[in-house]
Amino acid sequence: MSKLTLIIIFFLIIWLYKLSYNIYLFIRTKLLYKKYQIFEQNTDTENFDIVSSLPEIKELFIKANIPDDLKVPFDNIMASGTIQPLLNINNTMPEIRRFYNLRFTEALGYFKKNICDTFNPFYWIEFFIYFPQKVLNYVDVVNNIFVKLINIAYWFGIVYLICNNLFK
């Protein structure tokens, strides 16, 4: 097998993984949202079935870049203040219900966008142009100058490899 064939296979595997993983996350979020909507419609206040899904809901929200420490303000006859919705999923307060409906919709939009990105050539061009920067941000390198210098070295390396192979 030639090097080009191996590179193409490698990128196809990455593409297929990104597509299938985001489809899975989208479907899983949609199913959990339906489960939450059933919980909302149920008038039985002792229904704690949705609570068992909370760890997965938190994980999906985090993957959709929704912080898990959000607080929602509330004001009713008894009290006012803020409440953490992710700790009170089975609460029937309208503020909590609005929060979950909004966040599930936001997560679905996020995963749908990621699915669309797998078919967007500009996404992949940007992905490969800024690949070192994404890796360094993933490992939490804080020094922006260092990250940019590595990215510039990467660009020069790519230009060198292209020119070196074109003029052989």
**Is residue 30 domain-shared with residue 109, that is, in the same domain?**
yes
**Is residue 147 domain-shared with residue 85, that is, in the same domain?**
no
Confidence band for 121, pLDDT divided at 50, 70 and 90: very high
- Judge if pTM exceeds 0.95: no
Query: In which domain, by residue range, is 106 found?
Result: 3-120
Q: How many contiguous H segments (helices) and E segments (strands) does the chain have?
A: 6, 2
d(CA 132, CA 154): 7
Q: Quick one: average pLDDT of 78-90? A: 75
DSSP codes, 129-160: HTHHHHHHHHTT---HHHHHHHHHHHHHHHHH
**Is residue 85 domain-shared with residue 151, that is, in the same domain?**
no
Cα three-residue angle 24-26-17, rounded to 5 degrees? 40
- pLDDT value, residue 15: 94
What is the total count of domains within the chain? 2
Directed axis angle between helix 3-41 and helix 54-63, to 10°?
A: 130
Domain contains 8:
yes
Does the structure show a pLDDT above 70 at 77?
no
d(CA 153, CA 157): 6
Confidence band for 139, pLDDT divided at 50, 70 and 90: confident
**Is residue 136 domain-shared with residue 116, that is, in the same domain?**
no
Domain contains 125:
no
